[in-house]
Structure 1
């Protein structure tokens, strides 16, 4: 299972996820927003230092239903450069905000050298009514080898304090994966080849 987190970095919540992942001996992929990278470069550097992979979630969490192909290319390129400048590493993956991969966004990602990635299961952890049990149940109900889990390491685009729910659910999710005989890691270790 590829374990992924969207919407960071966040100086309050992301370090807590890094600590929890260290305790679980798990590495993950963090889909970061470029505007957050430039505001919190130390958080992204620490994420990479701890062995996690960074990917692009866009420059900001903008609305995909207003197509702007030229703007999409510019904003993705800007986000890629922010990650590269902060960490010295070029990201490989792109997940569009809201998971809406329009033809324009797909083309923009490919134009800047990113591979679009969505998910196979999510915890619905951004919702106001989410609990650690509901997040864990939503994820583990869809567990299968080769899957990609979507969670969030911040409440920037979610219900207030929803990241705490995700953090509390995380050990159970990892345990359920391991009990099912699945290894958990970042996309780079997921067996996905660049196209």
Structure 2
């Protein structure tokens, strides 16, 4: 009799623990948002690649109000970049999305919308990510490789969805905090440069749709200084496709100042 009661208690405890385990599986992977541990323990996820190369990336577009200015600036600098786009924006602005590709840039997946994953929703995440990847493939003519979740929050649901969709998650090693109302070209450059090394991946934004109005001008204005600093250090600047993330980065001597 007692053994039956004990088994019943164990079963009740196990059932009660399920929500906590589900929540942990959802939240724990999001700890990769912390840049220090990410670079040390998960260099591929951090975007660490070839030591003589810097990957330049932009999130949240495409946006017809601002993205064309970035494309013009990149043309002038003779630099190609990776644009992490939102699926809903790609469908709204197909011509602009195609123009990004036509100019030699790489399209990657930022999700379908720019939402925060407060609760586990594996079916929704898988469906939306697959939909976004399809939209990018339709516009670019090639299957996308990279996925960066909105806000850099890589939950268990998003990680599983990326694997099912055949996308490689990648975050960043340096960012410009260019989404704030106080951001300027000088502040963006000053924020990026101390963390900018060969093999690094830089995160900027080519739109203010999910940030302070007009803040994209700060990122745009910082581009010449950032690209110039990389070239002065003997570093190439380009897309994630050129970044060779699969190869473990060796010790890097060159560093921008």
TM-score bin, normalised by smaller chain: over 0.9
CA contact (8 A) 1:127 1:159 kept: yes
How many angstroms does 1:151 deviate by?
A: 0.1
Q: Structure 1 unaligned segments of length 5 or more: list them.
A: none
How many angstroms does 1:165 deviate by?
A: 1.1
Whether 2:226 is the aligned partner of 1:173: answer yes
How many angstroms does 1:87 deviate by?
A: 2.3
| 2:190 aligned partner | 137
**Secondary structure of 2:237 counterpart:** coil
The one of 222, 231, 242 equivalent to 1:189 is 242
| 1:82 aligned partner | 135
How many angstroms does 1:90 deviate by?
A: 1.4
CA contact (8 A) 2:88 2:113 kept: yes
The one of 126, 131, 156 equivalent to 1:103 is 156
How many angstroms does 1:158 deviate by?
A: 0.6
Aligned residue pair count? 194
**Secondary structure of 1:189 counterpart:** coil
| 1:7 aligned partner | 60
**Secondary structure of 1:91 counterpart:** coil
CA contact (8 A) 2:105 2:239 kept: yes
**Secondary structure of 2:211 counterpart:** coil
| 1:35 aligned partner | 88
CA contact (8 A) 2:107 2:140 kept: no
CA contact (8 A) 1:140 1:177 kept: no
Which structure carries more helix by proportion?
2
**Secondary structure of 1:184 counterpart:** strand
| 1:154 aligned partner | 207
How many angstroms does 1:65 deviate by?
A: 2.3
Structure 2 CA distance for aligned equivalents of residues 187 and 76 of structure 1 = 19
Deviates more, 1:37-46 or 1:172-181: 172-181
Whether 2:112 is the aligned partner of 1:59: answer yes
Report Cα offsets for 1:15-62 as digits up to 9, x if no partner. 110110010000000000000000000111000000000000000001
**TM-score where L is the length of structure 2:** 0.74
Q: Structure 2 unaligned segments of length 5 or more: list them.
A: 1-53, 248-257
**TM-score where L is the length of structure 1:** 0.97
